[in-house]
A and B are shown apart, each in its own frame.
Chain A
Amino acid sequence: MIVFLIKRLANAVLVMLAVALLAFLIFRFAGDPVELMANEQMSQADRIELREKLGLNDSFLTQYGRFVVNAARGDFGISYRNGQDVMTLIAERFPATMELALVATILSLLIGIPLGVVTAIHRGRWYSEGLQFVSIIGVSLPSFVVGILLILVFAVTLGLVPAFGRGDVVQLGWWSTGLLTASGRASLLLPSLALALYQITLVMRLVRAEMMEVLRSDFVKFARARGVPRRRIYFRHALRNCLMPVVTMTAMNFGSLIAFALITETVFQWPGMGMLFIQAVTFLDMPVMAGYLCIVSFIFVTLNTLVDIAYAVIDPRLRDATR
């Protein structure tokens, strides 16, 4: 298990170094930072001094090494746009995105898994086929369309929930949460649903396919021959054997949720990292873009590593193979 952990961690570090290289290359190839920072009045001497101060005359490797070391400490420099520390900017926006993605994930599991089980058990019934059909629509509708539709129906027409923003937030240390206030929770509802819809249909279809596979297996038939009640077979014996791919997909897609949240965030004017990134792109704010790229990749890689470890915990066969 320890060898396995070390191997996985080494892999993760390699991937992060590659990502850091990409982020670093943004600075080198997306224009001269000095030109971007400098204003009209700056003299040539000032520019050379700034170039020296920023370390832009050092060799490529030295600059990359410095970028990695700084990034590892959470230092991505300062925003070109408003001179604020990039890490502080991201940290301010991070809780909003995180809560959005978390709630969306929980929604997708709470709704997707039971729907998957039901459509697998009662396949052929009208409601199963109906759900299957609706799920195709769910998979193919872009999330901004879903978001706009949700706003139109629930916020504009019915007026049940706010159409944009986070509502009131409560500060818990550096973490700002909207989960503790009524307006915060109400504001969270639509964006998380818009973000989760795709995920719900994915989970449902995956669970359905896996369930149908597992229900054909010998150990399910043997469990029936042992007199195990159907419900227990479905939810204890079969479902647990389906969870592996669900865990993988959920964890991997959590990264995508955070990344794709930028569309949902734009539609709902949600003050998260995605909005920050969109603003950074329009202003060519490279340190913010590089920081965002590194942070999102870090979340991706961490989740992948955790999934591998979770595998070993769920499936005893893998636990032994890696011992």
Chain B
Amino acid sequence: MTEHLSSAVLDVRGLCVEFPGRHGTVSALSDVSLSIRPGEILGVVGESGAGKSMTGLAVQGLLEPPGRISGGEVWLAGRRIDQLDDKEMQQVRGRQIGAIFQDPLTSLNPLFTIGAQLVETIRLHLKLSKADAKARAIQLLKEVGIPAPEARYDHYPHQFSGGMRQRVVIALALAAEPKLIIADEPTTALDVSIQAQITSLLRRLCDDHGTAVMLVTHDMGVIAETADRVAVMYAGRLVEIGPVGDVLKNARHPYTRGLMASIPALGRRVERLNQIDGSMPRLNAIPTGCAFNPRCPEAGPRCRKDRPEPAPVGSGVSACWLNAGGVL
């Protein structure tokens, strides 16, 4: 793991995020470490509230106050960015980190043409004349597969379908050739038939531009098709990271195995869908030891006492005492 750190686009080390509240401080992310290489797509999966989106927001410096980074480091292309102030982060957001949001219907400003929004983003980050920026905007629209980009340039968001709007959002994310794109549930709000188009578009753009992508989703199908590696999160902690094939077929962590088992297979009739018993603990009531221990079929006394650290196992990393070969 250490040898590619220097070449990693994004390197998150021991990231902690907390929300100070009236009833004490809630820890939303605890000791999350992950890295993404150029041209690589890292899928981040987990249940709602596991901290997937929070990780993306923390990297972009977009945590809603009073949420704040309370520990760890975020390195982007060899530069530490978690301590930058808002002004400096403005230069990073859009320029070095592109963003794709979940709902394309609401992420564009309804009162401006998509052309105006593209040119705005381009000219904020690149020193281009208005005419050059427009040419680049049209080129981007073409690249993300919008037919007749010259005509569509002057259209308003409401004149596009959901899938087309998500393509516009992707064009906006790509506007300044960022090194990293954080895509937060980019296909969740879309039709199933459109989802595949958007993920393959993302894959293609990532390959063409060498852009690294952090793909946050709860859809294992999207991960299986698109991602190179996958990070599994649970209750604000990282559970397992590894190459997508290994994690899908040979998961090291009981939670990941449960997650995989709960995907219904096509063509096989089952009486009951598989599920992991229980539900994820609330962030202010995380049990001691391994956060997953109350639901884990293989948990032992040690899991209830000590928190397992992520440790290399096989081709990936897993935070489970089973892999440490320790006594349960």
Contacts and interface: CB of A to CB of B under 8 A. Distances in A.
Interface of A: 217-219, 221-230, 237, 240-241, 314-317, 320
A8 B31 CA distance: 62
Given A225-B93, A316-B158, 17 more contacts: A219-B106, A219-B107, A219-B108, A219-B109, A222-B99, A222-B172, A225-B62, A225-B97, A226-B94, A226-B120, A227-B124, A227-B125, A228-B124, A241-B109, A241-B111, A315-B111, A320-B158
Nearest to A216: B64
Query: Which 7 residue pairs are nearest across A and B when measured between Cβ atoms?
Result: A227-B94, A225-B99, A218-B106, A227-B93, A222-B107, A226-B94, A316-B156
A222 B125 contact: no
B94 A217 contact: no
Interface in B236-278: none
Contacts of B110: 219, 241, 315-317
Contacts of A241: 109-111
Interface string B93-118: 11101010101001111111000000
A127 B153 CA distance: 43
* Chain B interface residue bracket vs A: 20 to 34
A228 B106 contact: no
Contacts, number: 75
Nearest to B56: A225
Interface in B23-44: none
B179 to A, nearest CB: 14
B211 interface: no
A219 B172 CA distance: 12
Q: Which residue among B109, B112, B120, B124 has the maximum number of chain A CB atoms within 10 Å of its CB?
A: B109
Contacts of A221: 62, 101, 107
B215 interface: no
Contacts of A229: 90, 124
A227 B95 CA distance: 7
Interface string B66-82: 00000000000000000
A218 B93 contact: no
B86 A218 contact: no
A118 B47 CA distance: 39
A219 B60 CA distance: 16
